[in-house]
Amino acid sequence: MRIVIAGGHGQVARLLNRRLADAGHTPVAIFRDAAQTADVVASGAEPVVLDLEKSSPDAVAAALRGADAVVFAAGAGPGSGPARKKTVDRDAAILLADAATAAGVRRYVLLSAIGADDFDPALDDDFEVYLEAKSAADADLRLRDLDWTILRPDGFTDKPGTGKVTVAETVGRASIPRADVAAVIAAVVTGNLAVHRQFEVTAGDNPIEAAIAAL
């Protein structure tokens, strides 16, 4: 499969790139800083330098043509401020969906966040804006005529992946290794699992593919 990953230089994305490449797929990483090209290539992905905050749907669609699936794994990141939470975590995810539709790519997997719908609109701090942006992107995707999946992990760790998770529409709060998040995304995309499903995921005791299949 040819799988285009927005935010392709991120920590989860680079783990996903390597996992997909090692399994014989072709990951294509979209990222905005050309200085990161060597890192992206080293992770096993084809590099596409493209700034989703400044690109048109047509420009992004051109990068998606011929793909079997797209993954949104981008994020403004810590310290980026409320404005970029909106332009990346919300607007760029919506832009990617517009571009996928234009390019005829039906499969869209969106990396969201646990508790995204629990934001407090009365608070204007970065984290609440981040949750609100994720919630809005999720809501937009659920209304689209695409084969979407939305996964909402809890806090990331850099511990080694275990290959086991807890998956459900709602789960208790617990962290999860980035490597296991990447493994969940890979399983969902390459196995065409959990289509039209939104689920939360944390570390757990159930093998990844079996846990997702049981949703």
Q: Where do the structural domains in the chain lie, given as residue ranges?
A: 2-213
DSSP 79: T
The predicted pLDDT at position 141 comes to 98
Rounded Cα gap, residues 125 and 120, in angstroms: 10
The predicted pLDDT at position 69 comes to 98
Catalytic site residue from 31, 72, 130, 199: 130
Q: Cα dist. 7→71, 117, 168 in Å?
A: 9, 22, 25
pLDDT band at 178 (very low <50, low <70, confident <90, very high): very high
pLDDT band at 44 (very low <50, low <70, confident <90, very high): very high
pLDDT band at 122 (very low <50, low <70, confident <90, very high): confident
Query: For the stretch 119-151, what's the b/e string if a residue is b when 16 or more beta carbons lie within 10 angstroms of its beta carbon?
Result: beeeeeebebbbbbbbbbbbebbeeeebebbbb
Architecture of domain 2-213: 3-Layer(aba) Sandwich (3.40)
Q: Cα dist. 44→68, 115, 189, 197 in Å?
A: 17, 32, 17, 28
Whether the predicted pLDDT of 83 surpasses 90:
no
- Give me the percent of the chain exceeding a pLDDT of 90: 90
The mean per-residue pLDDT over the stretch 69-76 comes to 94
The predicted pLDDT at position 39 comes to 98
The predicted pLDDT at position 76 comes to 81
**Amino acid in the structure at residue 2:** R
pLDDT band at 81 (very low <50, low <70, confident <90, very high): confident
Query: Catalytic site residue 130?
Result: yes
The predicted pLDDT at position 85 comes to 87
100: number of Cβ within 10 Å: 27
Rounded Cα gap, residues 45 and 117, in angstroms: 32
pLDDT band at 182 (very low <50, low <70, confident <90, very high): very high
Whether the predicted pLDDT of 77 surpasses 90:
no
Rg (CA), the chain: 16
Strands 46-49 and 26-31 come out as parallel
Strands 197-203 and 147-153 come out as parallel
